[in-house]
Amino acid sequence: MNICVVGTGYVGLVTGACFAEFGNPVCCVDKDASKVDALNRGEIPIYEPGLEDVVQRNAKAGRLTFSTDLPTAIRDSLVVFIAVGTPQDENGRADLSFVREVAKAVAENLDSYKVVVTKSTVPAGTGKMIREIIEEHQSEEHPFSVASNPEFLREGSALEDFMRPNRVVLGTEDEASAAILRDLYRPLYLIETPIVVTNVVTAELIKYASNAFLATKISFINEIADLCEPLGADVHVVARAMGLDRRIGPKFLHPGPGYGGSCFPKDTRAAVEIGKDHDIDLRIVRAVIEVNDVRVTRMLEKIRIAVGGTLEGKTLALLGLTFKPNTDDLRESPAMAILDGLLAGGARVQAYDPVAIPLVRDEARDGVTYCADEYEAAQGTDGLVLATEWNQFRGLDFARLKDSMSHPLIVDLRNIYEPSRMRERGFDYTGVGR
Ligand code: UGA
């Protein structure tokens, strides 16, 4: 089955590479020629474990190609996946101009029956909009189907999420396209992946409801963590015991500096806007956003208090800059907001991140030194702030750290260390909600 994936961002690249891995001929299209050239040389523009290997293997086998020629790719395909960006516009809504552009290109190159599928996270109703655009601009009369197949990939484990998903959601408007899409996901039948087949608007909403619910779990546990602090309770034990109730589940109950990245912040805000469009006030989602918005300020307060009441004149080590480990994504990263907050408060910062330093080094920021590793970052500091839980920070050499720091203080915003053990090791230790 010939497939065209439009947009070689995170979602498009993973989708294209994985469908090729399933044995389909896939053409990934992007209008950025330099990106396409790089991909044709086997260079992957994002940091995603395992992706380079899958891309190179399938490109070599001739199943995966990269091109800037959208008309040809559309004409050659039965299924066109739209995986272009849907950035947030100035009102918090998803900006659909790239989606519209692709829909128009499909209309102009519709030379046979095709299924046009949205993979990007798009507001409920976008499928209908795509149908209208294609009908209006169609150069030849051919039947087509519009479908929604939202992705639930996590950055850092996207290949695993694609190959072993909890579920696949197919929103379709007719049996023909449902059969085609089911067929595409046939390799997952072997692992008995549940496939939810529904209509287009329901599929679109499933994506927002899922992300908003996960964000709700995070903001919820963050508030409970805040409450644990004055009470002297331990949020980890609270979360663990809550999670043992199967109706609640143990995942996404880790407190920290708040959720970030390219999905949760944007999708929760877009969900509220979609609600507004239909006179439905999504109060819970609004509260989730509000709790998350004050998270960084609260973390900065925690750090200020830990270092003795003022950031002014302090030198702090900051470990981790990305919004979570195993990605180079800095979008809406709480760690970056903390970096800027520390600098604004008058501290000097010695920062280290395993992958993101080259991405920030050239940004104008006074008072920060980017370091080669954790130990260089800790050298001579008044305290160390752990902002992103990269695996390599879980096994630090504490004796070495203690010797090199001016003051043995750790503010662990991801709760990766055990407070009692850290105190035994001679550190002043502050976690979140413990
Ligand atoms: C998220 C969803 O998990 C995916 O299912 C979805 O497909 C994707 O958004 C998307 O819409 O494209 P992602 O943004 O890659 O994936 O990252 P997550 O692993 O979900 O983490 C999001 C944020 O929540 C991170 O900042 C993370 O540190 C934070 N988080 C997560 C917590 O603070 N506590 C938790 O318990 C879990």
* Cross-strand bridge partners of residue 198: 171
Quickly count: other Cβ atoms within 10 Å of residue 364's Cβ: 4
**Ligand 1 contacts CB of residue 211 (under 6 A):** yes
To the query of whether residue 18 is one of the catalytic residues in this protein, the response is: no
- What is the 211 CA–ligand 1 centroid distance (Å)? 8
On whether residue 90 sits in a domain, the answer given is yes
Domain contains 248:
yes
Ligand 1, residue 161: give the atom nearest the CA. Answer: 5
List the catalytic residue out of 4, 18, 228, 263: 263
- Kindly state whether residue 134 falls inside one of the protein's structural domains: yes
**Span 288-302, average pLDDT:** 98
3-state secondary structure of 75: helix
Q: Is the CB of 218 under 6 A from ligand 1?
A: yes
Does residue 236's CB lie within 6 angstroms of at least one atom of ligand 1?
A: no
Helix crossing, 126-137 with 200-231: angle to 10°? 150
pLDDT at 37 over 90: yes
**Nearest residue by C-alpha to atom 1 in ligand 1:** 154
> Ligand 1 in contact with 14 (CB < 6 A)?
no
Q: Between β-strands 64-67 and 348-352, what pairing exists: parallel, antiparallel or unpaired?
A: unpaired
In tens, the pLDDT along 123-135 reads 989 999 999 999 9
Segment 29-49 mean pLDDT: 94
Asked if residue 230 has pLDDT above 90, the reply is yes
In a domain, 47, yes or no: yes
Look at 91-100, 142-151, 391-400 and tell me which has the smallest mean pLDDT: 91-100
Q: Which helix (H) or strand (E) holds 27?
A: strand 26-29
Domain end point (choices 293, 317, 346): 293
What pLDDT, in 10s, does the model give residues 380-429?
Answer: 999 999 999 999 999 999 999 999 999 999 999 999 999 999 999 999 99
Instruction: Clarify whether residues 121 and 25 are in a common domain.
Output: yes
CATH number at residue 171: 3.40.50.720
**Same domain as 94, residue 143:** yes
Q: Are 284 and 302 in the same domain? A: no
From 198, 229, 255, give the residue that closes a domain.
198
Name the one residue in this structure whose structure tokens are 């080094």: 361
Sign of CA dihedral 404, 429, 236, 250: negative
What letter does residue 332 receive in the DSSP assignment? Answer: T
Does 323 share its domain with 306?
Answer: yes
Same domain, 382 and 261: no
- Going from the Cα of 322 to the center of ligand 1, the distance in angstroms, rounded, reads 12
Q: In Å, how far are 118, 182, 185, 227, 266 from 195, measured between CA atoms?
A: 17, 8, 9, 40, 26
Integer Cα distance of 199 and 202 in angstroms? 6
Q: What is the CATH number of the domain that holds 239?
A: 1.10.1040.10
User: Can you spell out the DSSP letters for 247-267?
Assistant: TT-STT---SS---SSSHHHH
Residue nearest to atom 18 of ligand 1 (CA): 154
pTM of the model: 0.95
Minimal-distance CA residue to ligand 1 atom 31 = 252
From CA 49, how far away is CA 199, in angstroms rounded?
A: 33
Residues 187 and 41 in one domain: yes
In this structure, are 241 and 358 located in the same domain?
no
The residue whose CB lies within 8 Å of the most ligand 1 atoms, and thus the one to mutate among 204, 214, 322, is: 214
Count of domains forming the chain: 3
The predicted model gives 64-75 an average pLDDT of 98
Q: Is residue 326 part of a domain?
A: yes
pLDDT tops 90 at residue 93: no
**117 assigned to some structural domain:** yes
What is the average per-residue pLDDT within 34-61? 94
pLDDT value at residue 87: 87
Pocket test for ligand 1, best of 154, 413, 415 (most atoms within 8 A of CB): 154
308 and 192 part of one domain: no
**What is the domain range of residue 241?**
208-293
- How far apart CA 59 and CA 190 sit, in angstroms, is 25
Note the pLDDT of residue 92. Answer: 81
Residue nearest to atom 29 of ligand 1 (CA): 259
DSSP 186: G
**What residues form DSSP beta bridges with 147?**
117
Mark whether 127 and 172 lie in a shared domain: yes
Note whether 222 and 256 are within 8 A (CB): yes
Give the pLDDT band of residue 252 (cuts 50, 70, 90): very high
Claim to verify: residue 313 and residue 248 sit in the same structural domain = no
Q: Is the pLDDT of residue 88 over 90?
A: no
- Range 189-193 average pLDDT: 91
Listed residues 175, 198, 221: the one ending a domain: 198
- Distance (angstroms) between ligand 1 centre and the Cα of 15 equals 18
What would the mean pLDDT of 317-325 be, rounded to a whole number? 97
For residue range 341-352, list pLDDT tens digits in order: 999 999 999 999
Residue 340 Cα to ligand 1 midpoint, Å, equals: 22
User: Phi then psi for 430, rounded to 5 degrees?
Assistant: -130, 130
What are the CA-CA distances from residue 55 to residues 49, 66, 161, 181, 221 (Å)? 12, 10, 16, 22, 38
Q: Note whether residue 203 is domain-resident.
A: no
Mean pLDDT of the chain: 96
Phi, psi of 26 (to 5 degrees): -125, 135
Containing 409, the helix (H) or strand (E) segment is strand 409-412
Residues 101 and 190 in one domain: yes
Say if residue 284 is in the same domain as residue 318. Answer: no
